[in-house]
Amino acid sequence: MKVHRSTKPLVMLLVLLLFAVGIATPYVYAAEEQESTDKIQITYYYFSSCESCEDGQNFLNSLQGQIEDAISPDEYEFHLKNVFEEDIYNEFMERTKDMATDEFAPSPPMLEVNGTCLFGVDDITNKARSVILEEKENLRTEEERLASFRDIPAENSYFVYFYMPACDDCEKVQTYLANMDKEFALEQNRLSKLQVNYVNMGDLDNVPLAHWFFDQYGVPEERQKAPVMFYQNGYLQGYEEIVANMPNLIMNGKALNWQDIDYVPKDQDMSFGWKDWIFLVFTGVVNGLSPCGISLLLLLFSLLLSKHANVLKLGLTFIVARFLTFLLLGTVLYSAFEQISAVLEPVGRILQILIILLSIVFAVLNFIDFFMARKNEYGKIRFQLPPKLRAFQRNYLENTLNCGGKYLTGTVFIAGIVLSVGEFLCTGQLYLASILYMMQRQTAWDFIVVLEFVVYLLAMSLPLLLLTVLAKRGSQVLQLSEMTRGKLPWIKLLYGVLFLLFAVLLFLFMR
């Protein structure tokens, strides 16, 4: 069959449309499924086989009334299932087959909340609310948890309630709150809705938040325990105090006008900000001015020029090898420090203190080197590679380049790796302090940490890249060497200031 020329565009458009629909449909279903799984799934299995039997709707209405002060309808999905229906019966039996014991035979009514099952009227009545609220707490992200303390309508009577799951008094308070009126008539015909933010103090993520509230409200240490309820102008601690005073507080309007809290979680407070990035780049550039690294590169240039080799190409090769070596060493050290801090916290803390003390010592030594360099007494400079190591580097580089032949690029790359390991003994002190600073400002190993290393090492490579470009343009190696030597006193002074600054910052951010 031939397709008329004028209809071809329409056919192609139709094919593209069908293709787009086919591609989009799974994503639509996936989005709907994701939205559904983000909600708390509440399923109530009941048995109704006559006109006067329970239809489940009364229970639904009762449960909604119990939880409306703490959870909104769009946060959960409720499913009513009559076990008298054959397919529901089979579903119920399959769901509970592994729960039966010699002393217990599962039977309706049963309430299931995201996998947690409650059986019997008494158990469901007493525990449904707490189970649902605990599940809500588990599903909330850090952002959602913080948002629940903000933008509270001024006319709402708002309370923050800290509880423990296995706490008799906490369960009594929750039962009291479940049966409490959810709306109050205040003076001047004002209506105020009760809004309670439930926070599980047994969740370790919420412990810092609880202590923040204790500090803000000046709660004595002996009263820092659940159940405790905070409102704008004060707090109530203990079941009897809550029950005795909460209604009067609401009626007197003392729970109105909640102000947004300024609590910042530790992981966000310790996150890497733009000031940290600027400091990281600055430190990287300063570390790139290390005489150890510059002298190695200038030595390479002098040997390459004697062979009439491509200084730009091989200089960049050397810098890339150095970059990768320092990246590997840095990430290994970062991971090792993280493991030590996580497994042996006291050892990790001792290591932090040791590096702070070393930073102070390095600062003092660099200040001394500054004065020695000002006097041109370079032999008395302490922060430089030992003479034997410098001699080894020179001999190794000369022998390696002599054997390079047509594989000179690969030879320089390998030499860059080997010599960078030796250079680490000199340049590594400031690098080590920078690594520990990154650890103090980050909470876990992730992509951001890798990016920090890349940015730092790129900044650290900038001075060497500049020298490579100057050497390529015909600048004499001797002139470059004299130029860097003339700046040595100020480099040493800058190093001393940075080490001192690191000592202060590492102390302030010590975990």
Q: Determine the pLDDT at residue 445.
A: 65
Of 253, 268, 283, the one marking the end of a domain is 268
How large is the average pLDDT for residues 401-416? Answer: 82
Tokens coding 130: 């707490």
* CB atoms inside a 10 Å sphere around CB 25: 10
Residues 23 and 99 in one domain: no
pLDDT over 90 at 352, yes or no: no
CB count, 10 Å around CB of 19?
A: 10
What CATH number should be reported for the domain holding residue 243? 3.40.30.10
**Which of 139, 158, 175 represents a domain boundary (last residue)?**
139
**Which residues make beta-bridge pairs with 235?**
230
Q: Which of 211-215, 316-320, 328-332, 338-342 has the lowest mean pLDDT?
A: 338-342
Amino acid at 158: Y
Over range 209-222, report the average pLDDT: 89
The residue among 303 and 475 whose pLDDT is bigger is 303
**Closest to 130 in 3D by CA, of 83, 156, 100, 166:** 166
> How confident is the model over 6-16, as pLDDT tens digits?
444 444 444 44
In this structure, is the dihedral angle defined by the CA atoms of residues 33, 38, 39 and 41, taken in order, positive or negative? Answer: positive
What Cα–Cα distance (Å) separates residue 495 from each residue in 55, 363, 429, 439, 447? 78, 7, 10, 21, 29
- Comparing 190 with 27, the larger pLDDT belongs to 190
CA-nearest of 431, 404, 406 to 416 is 404
Bond into 109 cis (ω within 30)? yes
The pLDDT of residue 155 is above 50: yes
The position carrying tokens 């639509």 is 28
- pTM for the full predicted model: 0.49
Residue 200 CA to residue 164 CA, distance in Å, equals: 6
Please indicate, yes or no, whether residues 100 and 151 belong to a single structural domain of this protein. Answer: no
**φ, ψ for residue 450 (rounded to 5)?**
-60, -45
24 pLDDT more than 50: no
Same domain as 195, residue 127: no
227: preceding bond cis by omega (within 30 degrees): yes
**124 and 158: one domain?**
no
Residue 60, classed as helix, strand or coil, is: helix
Task: Determine the Cα angle at 330 with ends 327 and 332, to 5°.
Answer: 105
In this structure, the answer to whether residues 362 and 276 fall within a common structural domain is: yes
User: Is the domain of 281 the same as that of 379?
Assistant: yes
Residues 367 and 442 in one domain: yes
Residue 81 shares a structural domain with residue 100: yes
The four Cα atoms 79, 81, 87, 93 give a dihedral, to 10 degrees, of 100
Q: What is the pLDDT of residues 288-303, one digit of tens each?
A: 887 778 878 888 888 8
Contact 456, 276 (CB under 8 A): no
Q: Domain limits at 62?
A: 38-139
198-217 in b/e form (b: 16+ CB < 10 A) is bbbbbbeeeeebbeebbeee
236 against 95, higher pLDDT = 236
Residues 198, 216, single domain; the answer is yes
End-to-end alpha-carbon separation of the chain, Å? 77
Q: Say what the pLDDT of residue 29 is.
A: 42
Find the radius of gyration of the CA atoms of the chain. Answer: 35
Q: Band of the pLDDT at 346, cuts 50, 70, 90?
A: low
pLDDT at 48 over 70: yes
What was the pLDDT predicted at 122? Answer: 79
Mean of the pLDDT values across residues 415-431? Answer: 84
Separation of alpha carbons 55 and 57, rounded Å? 6
Of the candidates 240, 268, 296, which is a domain's last residue? Answer: 268
Alpha helices in 140-200 (DSSP H): 142-147, 168-179
Residues 292 and 400 in one domain: yes
Q: Which residue has the higher pLDDT, 164 or 58?
A: 164
Q: What is the mean pLDDT of residues 188-200?
A: 84
- Of residues 126 and 458, more confidence is placed in 458
The residues near 295 (Cβ < 8 Å, ≥ 6 apart) are 390, 481
> For residue 334, is pLDDT > 90?
no
What is the maximum alpha-carbon separation in the chain? 104
Query: Can you say how many angstroms the Cα of residue 48 is from the centroid of all Cα atoms in its chain?
Result: 50
Taking CA atoms, 226 is separated from 163, 165, 204, 221, 242, in Å, by: 5, 10, 14, 12, 11
Question: Count of alpha carbons within 13 Å of 157, Cβ hemisphere only?
Answer: 24
Position 449 pLDDT exceeds 70? yes
Judge if 263 and 297 occupy the same domain: no
CB 84 within 8 A of CB 49: yes
Count structural domains, the chain. Answer: 4
Question: How many residues belong to the chain?
Answer: 511
Q: Is 91 helix (H, G, I), strand (E, B) or coil?
A: helix
Decide if 304 contacts 397 (C-beta within 8 A). no
The enclosing H or E element of 466 equals helix 447-472
Instruction: Work out the pLDDT band at 31, boundaries 50, 70, 90.
Output: very low
Instruction: Assess whether pLDDT exceeds 80 at residue 61.
Output: no
Q: Is 193 helix (H, G, I), strand (E, B) or coil?
A: strand
Report the run of H or E that residue 320 belongs to, with start and end: helix 311-343
295 and 316 share one domain: yes
For 51-58, the CB contacts below 8 A with 24+ separation are 55/80, 55/82, 56/80, 56/81, 56/82
pLDDT at 74 over 50: yes
pLDDT tens per residue across span 247-306: 988 888 888 988 887 776 655 545 567 788 888 898 888 888 877 788 788 888 888 877
Above 50 in pLDDT, residue 21? no
Contacts of 112-116 with CB under 8 Å at 24 or more apart are 112/41, 112/42, 112/43, 112/44, 112/45, 113/40, 113/41, 113/42, 114/40, 114/41
At 339, list the tokens: 């493991």
Cβ atoms of 498 and 432 closer than 8 Å: no
Which tops the pLDDT comparison, 33 or 508?
508
Alpha-carbon span 239 to 255, nearest angstrom: 18
